[in-house]
Chains A and B, each alone.
Chain A
Amino acid sequence: MRSSLIIFSFFIAGVFAGLSAKIPAGFDWDKIGGYALYLLMFLAGVSIGSDRNSWKVLATHNYKIFWVPVCIIIGTMTGAALVALVLPSLTLRESLAVGAGFGYYSLSSVFITQLHSQSLGVVALLSNIFREVATLLITPFLVRHFGNLAGIASGGATAMDTTLPVISRYSGKEYAIVAVFSGIVLTILVPFLVTFILTVGK
């Protein structure tokens, strides 16, 4: 929660800086963003690869927990696909790409901005922040009515860090490892899935 507030305030500060129109007219996101994306990608990769705990959790032999991220991916993609049917302003590709952030707003919004458009990048930023904040707020309700995996499902990629405390409190400590596993798998998949969805068949 704290880190998402910091990140969001950097974005808002940027918006106000832009609105105040003191920015030189030639400011071009695409030029800076292109190289920055590669840098971010590389750093995100290093952080995934160097995390010994992630590898340990991924090497688990409990086959049941492999189904958790699978269900979250299918459920999220189904939900996002339905939105594209209801809202004519979004294409299926756009809606799926935003959903494929699984709450990992920082990386997914930068990616989508670069691979698709700024406005969809902003949709992704807001949508995935909303997913994280909503999970923090409604996990007690979700767990009570939909079972102990519901908070993990709602949290998506954030279940490994920001929403882990609330999940472990309401689903029980034995579900913390499931949350971390599922969150790690989804976090690793976000860049692959978003890139795939936005570029396949183009």
Chain B
Amino acid sequence: MISILLVLSLGILVGLLIISKPKLHLFNNYLLNWSIYLLLFLLGISVGTNAEIIRNLGKIGYEAVTIAIASIAGSVVLSQILFNLLFKKK
């Protein structure tokens, strides 16, 4: 855990160093996008070859949708309270 967060913090520091170099931002975002594509493609392959996950896809989808709906509902309810307390124009 510590090493992951160290790498993230190192990245943020490097980002700060190149803050006035827009060409490097573009290059970094290009690398970031393609590494995400590649990782999700690889995740897809290992899901496709994993019989247990394929068998449980219904259950996985059900859990995913339930967590998403509960997360949205919880944050929307709290945001409404905050809105009424601080943001609403009287």
A131 pairs with B41, CB closer than 8 A: no
* 0 or 1 for each of B40-52: is its CB under 8 Å from A? (1 = yes): 1111111111101
Count B-side interface residues using an 8 Å CB cutoff.
Answer: 72
Measured CB to CB, the closest approach of chain B to A194, in angstroms, equals 10
B16-51 vs A, CB cutoff 8 Å, 1 = contact: the mask equals: 111101001100110110011111111111111110
Is A119 in contact with B56, judged by CB distance below 8 angstroms? yes
Chain B nearest CB, measured from A163 CB (Å): 12
Are A67 and B68 in contact, with the CB atoms below 8 A?
no
Known: A83-B66, A87-B66, A148-B83. A153 touches B18 (CB 8 A): no
Chain A: interface secondary structure? helix
Known: A46-B15, A74-B78. A33 touches B39 (CB 8 A): yes
Contact of B5 among A43, A125, A192 (CB under 8 A): A192
Q: In the complex, which of the residues A38, A43, A113 contacts B4, with contact meaning CB atoms closer than 8 Å?
A: A38
Residue pairs across A and B with Cβ atoms less than 8 A apart, 19 shown, are A11-B47, A15-B44, A16-B44, A18-B47, A36-B35, A36-B38, A41-B8, A42-B7, A43-B35, A46-B32, A50-B16, A64-B87, A72-B75, A74-B74, A95-B67, A118-B46, A148-B83, A149-B82, A199-B1
Interface residues of A (CB under 8 A from B): 6-8, 10-21, 23, 27, 29, 32-33, 36-52, 64, 67-68, 71-72, 74-80, 82-83, 86-87, 89-90, 95, 98-99, 102, 106-107, 109-110, 113, 118-119, 121-128, 130-131, 134-135, 142, 146-150, 152-154, 156, 191-192, 195-196, 199
Other A-B pairs, 19, CB within 8 Å; known A46-B11, A71-B75, A80-B71? A14-B40, A15-B44, A40-B39, A41-B4, A45-B10, A46-B15, A47-B25, A50-B15, A72-B78, A75-B77, A80-B70, A99-B67, A102-B71, A118-B47, A119-B53, A122-B64, A130-B65, A149-B80, A199-B1
